[in-house]
Amino acid sequence: MTASPASPAASRPMPPALPGFDAITIWLIAVLVMVYVMVVLGGVTRLTQSGLSIVDWNPIMGALPPLSDAAWQDAFIAYKKFPEYQRLNYGMTLAEFQAIYLMEWFHRLWGRLIGIAFALPLAWFALRGQVRGRFAWQLTGLLVLGGLQGLMGWIMVKSGLVDDPRVSPYRLAAHLLLAIVIFLALLWLVLGRTLRPSGAATLARPARALLAFALLTVASGAFVAGLDAGMSYNTFPLMDGMLVPEGLLLLEPAWRNFFENVATVQFDHRVLAIALVAGVCWFAVHAAGSGLQGRALAATMSVLVMALVQMTLGIATLIMVVPVPLGALHQAGAITLLGLLAWCVFESRSPA
């Protein structure tokens, strides 16, 4: 009697076991949380107008703040030589300067701590042979991106130490998007080490499209922040009493309006955000109707809830003229939404 042929499922090789919550994964999660906090800190630094208070870049010695009255006076004198003090903060007291200086100093210190928290364990795991091959190259690439992010931060700050005491919105957008790339790359590594994808192929195209569209929306928000566009047109849904405000194409050439015109930049961000929420609503209905279950459905519904929360935060931030706590929550919400969309993309992959 001949044996029956093995089924395709039985003959298919089993995928390798997941590392789970081993030391490397816990380390990556810790760095991921630190990067998330860093992005929010960057938003607070921007909202408190603290970013131009430290007028030099000293990666080593700058790790310590001024430690004496004379050192504080020297830092204040240096700040007074630049346009932000001369045009916006003239007459500021030393105590007021110390407040914004310490905010920017802590922001930079947190970036240094992320670098140390990533580089030293990476070297340790590499020496022990626990990081090798493709994974080693991925982590090395992240280390390089982290260094470039610190450099990009200084390039951004330097753009505000000129005649116009405001950082370039283009450089601000680049700085934010590079931080998001680092965050999403770390998240992807953590997901790959802790979860087996659900294989929900029906999510693949819409989740990727929404993730790309969300990145575009966040980039437009960076230009809103860079131009302080949230301080104008503080009504919703109307802008200056109209759905479509006047003056959207005042600048020449026309493309500049989408990056440098306050009305156009805020209008674009509103339209993109509303379109994103509409797309997420469709995505949730599509996922529920396709019979998804388990983590794939949970990821989709989490995106829906977060998108609605983020829209609410955005409207409240605008109407209340960008208070610091709401502005920081809105930035945190953007990163959270991107992370949840990345989770949806992950769940759409094949389990093998």
- Mark whether 131 and 251 lie in a shared domain: no
- Mark whether 189 and 203 lie in a shared domain: no
- Mark whether 336 and 291 lie in a shared domain: yes
| Residue 16 included in any domain | no
| Residue 14 included in any domain | no
Write out pLDDT tens, residues 106-133.
999 999 999 999 999 999 999 999 999 9
Could you tell me the residue range of the domain that residue 70 belongs to?
A: 21-194
The reported pLDDT for the residue numbered 172 is 96
| Residue 266 included in any domain | yes
Q: Reduce the secondary structure of the chain to three states and give it as a string.
A: CCCCCCCHHHHCCCCCCCCCCCHHHHHHHHHHHHHHHHHHHHHHHHHCCCCCCCCCCCCCHHHCCCCCHHHHHHHHHHHHCCHHHHHHCCCCCHHHHHHHHHHHHHHHHHHHHHHHHHHHHHHHHHHCCCCCHHHHHHHHHHHHHHHHHHHHHHHHHHCCCCCCCCCCHHHHHHHHHHHHHHHHHHHHHHHHHHCCCCCCHHHHHHHHHHHHHHHHHHHHHHHHHHCCHHHCCCCCCCECCECCCCCCCCCCCHHHHHHHCHHHHHHHHHHHHHHHHHHHHHHHHHHHHCCCCHHHHHHHHHHHHHHHHHHHHHHHHHHCCCCHHHHHHHHHHHHHHHHHHHHHHHHCCCCC
Write out pLDDT tens, residues 14-67.
667 787 789 999 999 999 999 999 999 999 999 999 999 999 988 887 889 999
Query: Strand pairing partners for 242?
Result: 239
| Residue 96 included in any domain | yes
| Residue 11 included in any domain | no
Please identify, among 168, 194, 220, the residue that sits at the C-terminal boundary of a domain.
Answer: 194
Q: How many domains does the chain have?
A: 2
| Residue 239 included in any domain | yes
- Mark whether 246 and 296 lie in a shared domain: yes
| Residue 170 included in any domain | yes
Please identify, among 176, 194, 212, the residue that sits at the C-terminal boundary of a domain.
Answer: 194
Please identify, among 136, 168, 194, the residue that sits at the C-terminal boundary of a domain.
Answer: 194
- Mark whether 188 and 201 lie in a shared domain: no
Write out pLDDT tens, residues 185-195.
999 999 999 99
- Mark whether 224 and 122 lie in a shared domain: no
- Mark whether 185 and 314 lie in a shared domain: no
- Mark whether 178 and 228 lie in a shared domain: no
- Mark whether 205 and 178 lie in a shared domain: no
The low-confidence residues of the chain, meaning pLDDT below 70, are 1-15
The reported pLDDT for the residue numbered 1 is 46
- Mark whether 175 and 201 lie in a shared domain: no
The reported pLDDT for the residue numbered 289 is 86
Return contacts of 81-89, CB within 8 angstroms, 24+ apart: 81/55, 82/52, 82/55, 82/161, 82/165, 83/161, 83/162, 83/163, 83/164, 83/165, 84/49, 84/52, 84/53, 84/160, 84/161, 84/165, 86/165, 87/165, 88/49, 88/165
- Mark whether 174 and 279 lie in a shared domain: no
The reported pLDDT for the residue numbered 5 is 52
- Mark whether 46 and 141 lie in a shared domain: yes
